[in-house]
Amino acid sequence: MDLALSTISPGATRMIRLDHSHVLVTFHRYKIDTNPRVKQGLVDTICTALEIHAQLEEEIFYPAIREVTDNEAIRKSVPEHDEMRRLIARLRGMEPTDPAYDDTVMELMRDVLHHVADEETILLPEAERILADRLGELGAAMTKRRMQLVLPRSGEIACDMARSIPTPVYLLGGIAGLACLAAFGMMRRDDRSWR
């Protein structure tokens, strides 16, 4: 299993950059005049991706970095994640039509851009210098943990992605319904297979 995972998984730093790109590409689809339903789909997709990404970094990547180095970027990483979680919790409690919704999304993304800049210009190059021979193993561990974190949330993730697609409502209703049904059906099958 681990051998197969290490064959298909990207290395840890490549995976982290891919996660960052996914969040930024999703954010770039968010416009002030975007339909509220699409806004909520985009924001929920971003929030879930950030929650899973931050957990993977905190459980697997940051501890490996701390074993070999200590610098300002690694020391402030977890407090910065906590600030993102605070904004994510606020967004999850708001309607996309709330007058403060856009500003809260922009505040979250301002924090994310700052955090990603530090990771991509300090932490990841440092990891590639001092942890080069462990990046494959760390990437495999992160992929394994990601699967555990995503599986129970696969229905939610599918519904958020369906809502984030700006198609006519009549078409979207069908797509979202099918995506949710398919996702929940998969989860139920998975539940049975564990018994």
Show Cβ contacts of residue 36 under 8 Å, excluding neighbours closer than 6 positions: 95, 96, 97
Show Cβ contacts of residue 134 under 8 Å, excluding neighbours closer than 6 positions: 12, 64
At its nearest, how many Å lie between Fe ion and the CB of residue 114?
Answer: 11
**For Fe ion, what does the binding mask look like between residues 48 and 77, x meaning CB under 5 A?**
---------x--------------------
At its nearest, how many Å lie between Fe ion and the CB of residue 22?
Answer: 11
Query: Quick one: which segment of 37-45, 111-119, 128-136, 186-194 binds Fe ion (CB under 5 A)?
Result: 111-119
At its nearest, how many Å lie between Fe ion and the CB of residue 90?
Answer: 19
At its nearest, how many Å lie between Fe ion and the CB of residue 163?
Answer: 25
Residue 84 · residue 108 · CB < 8 Å: yes
Taking alpha carbons only, the member of 153, 183, 176, 182 closest to residue 40 is: 176
Half-sphere exposure of 16 (CA within 13 A, CB side): 28
126 counts as binding Fe ion under rule CB under 5 A? no
Return residues touching Fe ion (CB under 5 A). 57, 119
